[in-house]
Structures are given as structure tokens and as C-alpha cells.
Structure 1
Amino acid sequence: MTTTFDCTDPDGRSEGLAKAHQAISAKQCVVLPTDTVYGIGADAFSPQAVATLLAAKGRGRSMPPPVLIPRMQTMEGLAVDVSDDARALAKAFWPGGLTLIFHAQPSLTWDLGDTLGTVALRMPDDPVALELLALTGPMAVSSANRTGNPAARTAAEAREQLAESVEVYLEAGPRPEHGAAGVPSTIVDATSDILRVVRLGAVDLEQLRGVVPGVQGPDEDAAF
């Protein structure tokens, strides 16, 4: 039965995290807060769970979800060919609103959709999300909304769209917390020697270049 837990209350948070952990272990979906917007999450290593997530959103395999991780070190187990520049961005902006696309470890037995051998990783800057990720390990997480609809800023908004397709809703108040409109993470492609912004969002280009000056903007071509 679908249940919402109030994570602003310590007892509700403890019970909600335990139930969410159980749901993820059972290959079900949960809704959780992040530092950007609310997300719908599932076990990243279960093709069944990821398929359920995509179906809940009304999304096909051509739009695979990113993977949220609990700590920077997890990146090394999920990705290969991680450059020094990519590590520098992760160190500067994780936890936070930066998603990095890497070549995935070929030995991993997962199916996130049509990824072409890549994986998008992010460490969110949200205590509830990080606590859940510490229990579950890496989770496939996408914005908690039906595809084409606005991203949910609360678990209640997510439930209006996703209803019974989600087992556990973790309500922690509006995200972002200070009443701003939800801003998605910035996505940087780190699969080649030159890092390239795929989507601008929570971290702007000036901030990225303050760490790695050679980062390309989304509309720029490499200079040779």
C-alpha cells in the first residue's frame, strides 16, 4: 500500500527511511527529496525496478535515468576513464547540483536503458536523500513527475502525478527549500578529454570554469 512519511518529524523520518529501504530492496519505487526537485528512485542494479520507474514516468528506454550515489568514492566503482578534470568538478560541486556523464564500468550487471555504455552520476546535497542512499546504495533517480509535466517540488505534488506506482513517498517540505523554482542539475559530459556541458542548471558555466577553465559550453565547438 502506498504510504507517505513526514520526514520533518524525526520518528516519521526514521520510519520512512526504513520503509523506503524495504521498498527499494523489493524492486519498488520511492519518491525522495533532493537538493533540486523531488525524485522517483529505484534500485539501479535491478532492470525490473528501473523499468517500473520508467513506466511510472511514461518514459521510454531512450531517456535513461541518472544514478544518485551516497559518496564521491562510489564514482570509482561505477565509472571508468575518470579524468582529473572530472574528479576536480566532482570534488568542487558534490554534494550538489552537478551530474557527470562517464563511461560505465563494463562489468556492472545493470540496465538503465539505452545508455550507449555511459552512466550519469550525481551526489545530491540533501540529508534525507544521502541517508537513504547510504542504506540502499546507488539508485536510479529521475524527477518525480510524469514526462512532460512540471517537476514536483513536494512529495504531495509527486503523488498527484505518480499515485500508486510509487510504494513510499518521503515528504520533507519544498525543494529547493527556500521557495525558489526548482532548478535541475547541470549535466557535464566527461566521456572525452574535453568536458562539455550538456545542460546548464544549478551550477553555471562560470562556476565550472572556475575549477576547470577548459569546460565547453553547451553551444560551443572544440577549438583545434
Structure 2
Amino acid sequence: MRKNQIKLARIVKIKRTFVDVLNNKTNDFPEYKLPEDAINTLILYAVFDMKGELLSKLTEKRYTEINRLSGEIADTILIAGGNTIQNDTFNAIDRRFIEKLRNINDLNIIGVEQSYSEINYCEKYKSMGLDTVDNVDELTGKVSLIELIRGGNGNYGIKKEANLLMPNTFTSIDVSENSLKKRRESLIEQYQSLQSANIIQ
């Protein structure tokens, strides 16, 4: 992360067909324990940039799409939801990933969606204790998201789960830098432990 800038490290898109992997309804991965191995391999990649064989297979068979922009450890994960009513995958996908991501100490997890999303995923994210932005496509939503990445807290936007349209106070530079430093140090330590244990699928 460059000073005063936010760098996007990776984009992981989970396709609708991934539900079959989570429900163990595919014969594509007989050598793996599903769904645990699939969830773990995606989380290790999203947070720590640890890429294993199972991730390659999931991408090859089009259950996921990945776009690696940098090899840095991610200190913040954005969970983007708000599908159409016919394609509500919150319980099948989002909930399970959030539960696993919360096992990573000091990881900043933020739930986001676009203002025109048919389903209010941010309401569901909030019920799991996440900070949220339900209008990330709008200017006020972008301001809110930057504040949450900097270490602020809250549920912002235009829908019923939001407490405010956007933050009315902002985290000071010192507090924000200390929060980021603490997150990064903790995540680097966890990454080194994972490397020592050689935990990758």
C-alpha cells in the first residue's frame, strides 16, 4: 500500500456453479475434502496470495475467476453481494466465507453492494457484525468505504440497515496508520506461521 493510496491486490469472483462445490455435488475434485478445502484455498489466496493446485483447478473448471493485481497480503477483504432475487447465494456462499474469514486475526472485512441491488446483502452482512456500505457505486458510498478501510466502523448507505448516509466524523491519520500497522504485522505473522506449517492445497 503506497502512502495515502489504496491498492487492490486481488479480485476473486465466485461463480454460481460454486454452490455445487460447496454442496459436494461435483465429481471434479475427488482427491479433496469438500467443501472445506475449496473454501480454505480461496481464503488463503484472497488474503495471503497463497496459490495452490486446487485453486488452479477451480479456475480451470470455471467455478471461480481470479485476477491477481499484486502479490501483497490483503489487510482488508471486501465481500461484494447484492445479486438478483433469483440468485440469492448469501447462505450458500457469503455466510460460509465470512465465518471462515473471521478466524483470521485482525483482518478487516467489509460488506458492500451497489445501490440498485435487488437483495439487501448489507442487511445480512450487518447481522453477522460486519461494517457495510450499501451504495458503493455512489460518491458518498466511496467516501464511506475509504473510511472503513482506514479503520473506521459503521453501516453506511441508503437502505434500511444503514445508520448514516456516510460518516460524520473521520478517523485521524495517526489512528488510521496505527490501525493499519497493527493489522499488517498480525497478518504477516499469521502468513509466516502458515508458510512454516506448509498449509496450502
TM range (shorter): under 0.3
TM (norm. structure 1) is 0.25
| Structure with more helix by fraction | 2
| Structure with more strand by fraction | 1
